[in-house]
Each structure stands twice: as C-alpha cells, then as structure tokens.
Amino acid sequence: MDKNVIYVSSDIKLDNDSLLLNESLFHNANGYIGVRSAFEEGYPQGYSSVRGQYINGFYDFSQAKQAENLYGLVQEKQTMLNVADTQTILIHFDNEVFSMFEGTVIKSRRWVDMEKGTTGRHVVWRSPQGKEVDITIIRMASFHQLSLFTIEILIKSINFTGDVMIESYHNGKVTNYFDPADPRTADEGFHYLQPNSCNIKYGASYITAKTSKSNLEVCSCVKNLLSGESERQFIVDDNNALCQMVTSMQSGETAKLIKYCVFADSLRVSDVSAHAAAQMKQALSVSLSELYQLQADYLSEYWANCRVEIEGDDELNTALKYNLFQMIQSVSKDEHGNIGPKGLSGEGYEGQYFWDSEMYIQPFFTVTNASISKKLISNRYETLEMAKENACRLGHKKGALYPWRTIMGKECSGYFPAGSAQYHINGDIAHSIVKYYLATKDVDFIASEGAEIIFETARLWMDAGNFYKGAFHINDVTGPDEYTCLVNNNYYTNAIAQYHLQWAAKLYYSLRKLPAFKRMQKKIQLRNEEISEFKKAAAKMYLPYDEKLKINPQDDSFLQKKQWDIATIPKRNFPLLLHYHPLHLYRYQVCKQPDTVLAHFILEDAQSLETMRNSFNYYEKCTTHDSSLSGCIFSIVAAKIGQRDKAFRYFGSSTKLDLLDLHRNTKDGIHTANMGGNYMAIVYGFGGFRLKESGICFAPMLPKRWTGYRFSICYDERRIAIHVGKEKCKFYLENGKAVSLTVYGKEHLLESKLTIKMA
C-alpha cells in the first residue's frame, strides 16, 4: 500500500451505512469549503445521503427549544448550512445511465491521495445492455484558491460507440441533514437558505441565496467544460440549473468533463455574485493540471513542517498521515472561521466550534504552521465583544466568557450543565495564546490581540471565584468531563485558571511599555490593582488534593460518590449518555473523558510525578472513553509516567478511530480533535516534547513494536527534525539559527545535528 494514499477497494459494500461512512472519509475540504463524497450519480431510491457542501463560519439561526424558559437560557443557536449541491452528474450512454447499482461493476476503488490533495474513484462498468466503460473521477478542494472545488471525469469507452449525454446539476434548493434520535445532529429539517436568483452568464450558472434569519448571502457558480462537445443547453427550473452536454465517442476513445464550482459568502465579501464571477475567471485562467500542481506544492510545504512517520508499522503510519491531512483540510485559513469537531466533513454538532480547537487542534498548528494558529486566535478576538455579552448574560459584572458551543460568537449550548458551565474554556483559550507566544515570540500580535483576550477572560475568574478561608475557590462549574457537572473546585478548571492568571500578570509586566499594549490597556481600562488581584488569586488558588490516595480529586465531591464498575456495564449501553439519565451519571465516580488526567498533561508542573501517576491509575478505572477526546490524552500521560505499553494501546485505537469507525458515528463527520490528539500522542507523548517558558524540551521513548519514528516541529523561526531510534535519538536543525533545547533534563545547543543516547 502506498503510504501516501488511502484506498477502499472493490470489495467494499454498497450498503447505505458504508456509503454514509465513506461520504465522510473521502470528503474534500480546504478550510473554507467542504464537500461530502456522495456518488455524483446518486444512490437508489430509499437510500439516505448527507449530500452536503459547507462554508466555514457560514451559518443561520435556528430555535433552541427549552422546556422552561428560565432567564439567560439559550433560545436561539447557530447551525452550519448545506449551501448548494454542485456534485450531481449523470452520464447517459444512449438510453442507459451509469450507476454502481445497475449492470455490473467489474472493478472499482476509491482513494484519498494525501500528497496530491485529491480524492478519486475508478470504476470499470458494464451496463445492463453490455456497454463497457472505464470511468475515473478526481475531486479537489483547492488550497491555492480556497473558493474552488473541481470534479474531473475521464470516460474511456471499452466497447461503446455513440453519443454520451452528460447532465450536470447545480441545485440551490437544499436542506441540512437531520436525525432527531441523535443529539449530535440538528433536530429538525428546515430550508435555511432561500434561493433568490438563478442565472446563466457566459456559459456558467449562478445561484444566489439568503439565509432565513442571519441575513447572510451566498453565491455558488458552476461551469462545465466537456471535450468534443457537440451540443449544450441549460434548463433553469425553480432556482435550480441543469447543464446538458453531448459528445460522441468511439470504442477506445476518452472524453473528459471538468466541472468548476466556486463559492462566495457575505461574511467575507460585500457583493457575492461579483466575487463569484471573479473567482470563476481566476479558476479558468490556468489549466486544471496547473491547479493540481499548485495543490501538490502547497501540501509539500505543509508536510515538510509537520511530517510524522512511524517506522515498523505501515498501517498505523498511513492512518496517522490521514489524520494530519484531515487537519489541514478542516481548519479555517482566515479569521471568519475556526475548526469544528467534524471539520467540514459533515453536520455533526451542527458545525459549531468547541474548546477542542484550542486544546487538541491548535497545539498541532502552533508548532507546525503557526500562521494558522494566529488566525484561530484572531477568530476568537473577532468575537470577544460577544464573549463579554455572554458573561453579562450569566450574571458577571466584568470580563468575558467565551461560549461553549458557537459559530459566530453567541452561545449555542442548550443544556447548560454540560455546556455553558464549562468555564474552563476561558483558560483553554488563554493557554493556546500563551503557547503561540512561546512558540513564535510574536510580541506585536500578542500586544494587539492576544493580551486583550487574556485580560478580559482573566477578569471573569475574579468574579466567578471568591476567597474563602484564605484560598481562592471556583464553584458551580463543569470540567472537561461531561459526566460530572456543576461541581465546586473542579481541579482542571482551578489549575488552568491559576495558569491563566499567572500569565496575565507576566504579560502585563513584559509588554506594558509597548505602544500597542498601552492602547489596549486604555481601551479596556485595565488597572494595576487588577494585576495584583490576579497574582493573589493565582497564588491562593485551591487545588483539591487527597492525602490518603495522594491524588488530585476531580472536584470537592467526586470521591464522595458511589463507585461504578465499568466492566459490569453491558457493551450495548455505551456511550452512557444515550442510555442513562444525566442525574444518574452525575451521582457516580464515572468519567466520559480525561479531566484531572488532562490537567496533568497540559499543566504538569503543577504536581509531582507521583501525584500524576496515582491520579492516572485512579481515573483510568472509572473512565469510559465515550469521548473521542479521551484515548490520546491517556496515551500521553501514560507515556509521561512510564507506562509504555498502555501508552501504545491507547494511541493505536485512537489513531484508527475514523478509518475503522470505532465510535460508529463517523458518518456524521470525522473527529478532528482526536486527530490533533493523535499528533500530540506521538510528539508530546512518545517524543516527550514540551513547549515551556524556559524553551523546548524532549524526553523521547520508543514503543516496543516500532523500529523508530520521526517528527518535525517549528519553533521561533526554526524547523527541527527529530528521529528516534532504538538506541539513539537525533536532532537536526533544518533551518534557522542555533537553538538551545533540553533532552532528558539536560540542556544542549543544536547547531546542525545532535545525537543523544536513548534513556
């Protein structure tokens, strides 16, 4: 198997479940647009399909129904929209239409090419009447031109001579997918987009539409080019466009169709129709082969910065590379979008953004493509005023509280105990900004945007918490574990609040002389007295600790609850949230995902190694791993405390989660945060990498089943490559000036190459 290509061969089933899964696995995206991989020709009647095409950050409002309309509860949420259907293409051979479900599929395969940035499908097909053709379909969402999605179809006749009619559809009357039985998808069907025009100009179809409530506009434009075309006509009906084209073929000849699709939205431009026209002109100004080359060039640089390779396990290596490819497909390249739990591969969680962005995904980009992390921070900066409004809605007099679920900045979480109460999102965002600062030393950006976020969110802790008997407590919050809600002194929340407040003070003293910082300080009326309060709260932060067990309790009440032997729970009852009432879960020592264990990873300096080890062993017994965010973190901490075999087991299942559909919900979209966690499991786990105020540190270890592994990081305008083998680990400075780094606790100067014996 080519390690750069993911294949699904001809023995795949064409049942509906497999097709829905492959729509996610083989989707195309570039961070702006995402297109699920439904068959161009469609499926038989009775089959369901999430035939979606999405734009990052583009949304409409929908009702968030509350049983009791108490003050401050969310009444309205945002949802990502299916903006058009430009995929549908029917190929007629005389009176027969190509379909994988009719006639005979002699052979077929599908693939994702992670070097070229394309997906493909190849079919050799015999029609019911005996016509044989060879069809290859290549799709691309362009990284060079983010508005552009292309479909190239090569039709080679094996024994057919005659006319081929191609019907290429452009459908603006689309709806979102919904499944009322699944809380991760939208719970109602509704036409969020209302098409207001469908026009044909210069051989291209333009459909403009407007959202029902958010007052946003989108324009999709489609142009088809068919080799040997002899006739063409457009049919416009009810704001849908159909382009019918005819070409003639002889046995052995090949016909080519290229379908160009571009998108424009009013979040980013004022005149969507004019912008779409300009984007189509740009797309047509170069050949498709040149666009393919530009795609490959973009990815070549991407892989140079972030390549991770496992030696001794080709299958796992390919799965890991697939995950990293999905990361660059999913993440926004501008400040108008972010990255959701499903990226742009499906409608799970309605396309809303969570804390996953900062804690699982941004760490990857911060040390591989920091410019993308900068855009993610800017996206949070753009919504800071709404975060301040959110804090006010929840009763806080000062500061900002970022919403738990959002697209455009307002809270979408209807169930506040497991949503809005997760105040730790403020600390998560602050943590990601600090890590960006440590990795890039981008003082100007921190002074102009990052610091304002940090100070406004730090203010929130001073109102959410209070001093009691000399210690600073934070009550009635929910930590990362969604099976334990509304507790006092959640360890993770308090620890990250402490880190947040400490860094607010550090940045104040290090940046306060900069003009940009002075302007920010005046803008938000930041007082010296507040900094003193931040320092005091951080110094007196209450961090739960149990002397008998020598662990950090997850919160004040966690150890008081009944224990639940997870091994006795029937497998059919997982995930627990779909089979047990929330109150039932809240009364047990049962965790959906790492909470205190996660704190021991990202804030390891807050506790001793003994405490981390004891906590890991304790919480491992009561964690269900119902969340895809779980396995990778347990892998990292297992590596930290020396449990190598466990680290490897957690990593393996986590890495193949989507390709093997281990959670049985990848049909709703890939798990982007888990994919970022897989990267961290190798680099931060096995590689022992840490990004600290003192510099960069490593403590490499090698899993028994591997012969070695490699990874690269970017740090302060340098790229460093690391190769870990059985006896030695080697560090290479690929560009930039010499740099100090710490390996196994000892400082070294990397000038060109450094070889260190494995511990």
**Residue 86 · residue 36 · CB < 8 Å:** no
For 568, residues 6+ apart whose C-beta sits below 8 A from its C-beta are none
Cis peptide upstream of residue 575 (ω within 30 degrees of 0) = yes
Distance from C-alpha of 635 to C-alpha of 678, rounded to nearest angstrom: 9
Q: Which two tokens stand for residue 552?
A: 């950090």
Main-chain phi, psi angles of 18, to 5 degrees: -65, -40
482 is annotated as an active-site residue: yes
Sheet holding 193-201, edge to edge: 5-8, 104-113, 118-126, 132-141, 148-157, 254-265, 217-226, 204-211, 193-201
Main-chain phi, psi angles of 741, to 5 degrees: -145, 155
Cis peptide upstream of residue 44 (ω within 30 degrees of 0) = no
Distance from C-alpha of 708 to C-alpha of 313, rounded to nearest angstrom: 10
Question: For the purposes of burial, counting CB atoms within 10 Å of the CB of 463, is it exposed (0-12), middle (13-18) or buried (19 or more)?
Answer: middle
Task: Look at the chain and count its residues.
Answer: 759
Helix, strand, or coil (residue 699): coil
Which amino acid makes up residue 251?
S
Distance from C-alpha of 579 to C-alpha of 592, rounded to nearest angstrom: 13
The DSSP code sequence of 457-497 is: HHHHHHHHEEEETTEEEE-SB--S-TTS-SBSS-HHHHHHH
Sheet holding 739-743, edge to edge: 690-692, 695-698, 739-743, 746-750
Q: Which two tokens stand for residue 720?
A: 């460093």
What is the Cα 383 distance to its own chain's centre?
Answer: 19
**Residue 205 · residue 198 · CB < 8 Å:** yes
Radius of gyration of the chain (CA): 27
Distance from C-alpha of 425 to C-alpha of 405, rounded to nearest angstrom: 10
Catalytic position from the list 482, 533, 547, 610: 482
Question: For the purposes of burial, counting CB atoms within 10 Å of the CB of 730, is it exposed (0-12), middle (13-18) or buried (19 or more)?
Answer: middle
Strands 728-735, 695-698: parallel, antiparallel or unpaired by DSSP?
unpaired
Alpha carbon distances (Å) from 446 to 209, 339, 347, 440 = 38, 21, 33, 10
**Residue 360 · residue 629 · CB < 8 Å:** yes
Active site residues: 482
